[in-house]
Structure formats: structure tokens, C-alpha cells
Amino acid sequence: MSGKKICLLLSMCLALLSAGPPPMFAQGKGNKGGGGGCRGATPLSDPIPLTATFRDTLNGFDTRIQGDGAPYPDGSALITCAGEIEIKNQEDFGRQIFLNFSDPSSPAPCEPDCLRELDTYLTAPFIWRTNVMANTGDPTEDDGSLVGGAWAIPDGQSRQSRLKVNFSTPNGTLTIRFKPDAFADTSWLLVTRTSSTTWTVEAASNDIAKLMTPDFQASTTVKGKNKTKGHDEGNFFMPFILDVEIR
């Protein structure tokens, strides 16, 4: 790692430690978050440690979400209390994620005032989490997701999934969303349980994600008028594949 990258990481660490935990890493309710014992009525009594590895290519295409050159180890990758697959860089600021926004699917609505200033980011901190959807006949949460998330997918089967990635930039936190039930121009992911201890999470070469600020809403009503909240930073082709395994 270059001296410049080391200095950047140290600067980020000092700033984050002095400010306290970033808002995007605030712990959720016991049935949603990971880390520590699970509270309340949750599919799992404790999070399950994983090893997670992003692949650099998918069917001949360079992937747009990659790791930093090594698997994410136990502790930063896990099955959450809700059964979802999560990678988070909350405590170990030595790990990063690589994100490539060089392939937009349409012009960004935020132009010329976009917060995204770069085509690629090698960045920390970040948090990456699935939200697996139920098939007909599956036990279902109120929002249509599968009770038990990725953990509840039977061996050898697949389910569609939403995905949320929060990551740090010099202009603040940005969010990647694969969530077509809320953003119709984005795509579903595919989560496959390949064995009792392994899964893949995949976005194909033509799958689209939206980049936005965490508070973005396409249309809200304020005093009887429709207004857009937050920043829509545009849509991007974001193929990737992640392999996860219980260790």
C-alpha cells in the first residue's frame, strides 16, 4: 500500500474516532442488525461469522463492486440476526471496498451538482447488506422479504434480493440501492445457497443500481406540493459476484 493511501486511511480513522460512530453504522433493532447476541424474536440467536470474497470478473466482464484484494474475514462478514448477508467495516478501518461508477445507464439527474466526483472509489468505512425476498409459499415479512433472509433459502435454491451499500466519500455518505419495488429502474439481485454453508450473491452484467444520498426520496408531499428529497446521483450498471462461506 502506498504512503499516500496509508496517510488517507489514518486521517479518516482519526476523524471518525473523534466524531464517534458514523450514522450509517448505528445499530438497528435486534431483529435486523448484526453484532453481539440477537435480541427479541429473531431467526437466529447469534450472528454467524462468514468469509466473504468478491470476484474481479463475471462472465468476462470486470465487476463494478470488488474487495480490496483479500477476503473479508470473520467479524466483518456475517449472517445477521435477521438471516441476511452483511459485510461491514465498522471497527477495522484497515479494510476497504472498491466501487466503479464508470458505466452509467442514463444521465444523472443531479448534474451538474452531483456529490459523486469520481468514477471509482476505494473507500472505507462501508456497510453492505442483502434483503432477500420471499417466493410464493415462503414465510413472508410485511415488506415481502423472506423470514430468515439468506439463511432460510433451502440448499440449491435461489431468491431475488434487494441490496443496500452505504459508503464514505469526501462529500458525505452515499448509498447504492438495488431495490426495484421502490426504484423501478433498478434490478433485483440473485442470492443462491450453493450448499449448507455457502452462498453466492450476484448482479448480472445488465443489472442496474441507483446511487443516492441515504435520505433520497423521488417524490414527497410537503404542504400539498410534490418535492424531491435528497440527491439522486444516477443509475449505473453494477455487475458483481460475492462468494460467502461459513468458517
What's the CA gap between 214 and 164, in Å, rounded? 10
Q: How many domains, the chain?
A: 1
pLDDT of residue 51: 96
The confidence score (pLDDT) of residue 170 equals: 93
Residue 21 belongs to domain spanning: 3-246
Q: What is the pLDDT of residue 57?
A: 94
pLDDT at 37: 80
pLDDT at residue 44, rounded to an integer? 95
Q: What is the pLDDT of residues 70-125, one digit of tens each?
A: 999 877 899 999 999 999 885 555 789 999 999 999 999 998 899 999 999 999 99
| pTM attached to this predicted model | 0.82
Q: What is the DSSP string of 31-49?
A: TT--SSS--SS-S-SS-EE
The pLDDT assigned to 30 comes to 38
> By the 8 A CB rule, do 179 and 214 touch?
no
pLDDT the model gives residue 9:
40
pLDDT of residue 185: 94
Spell out, as residue ranges, where the chain has pLDDT lower than 70: 1-36, 90-93, 219-223, 226-227
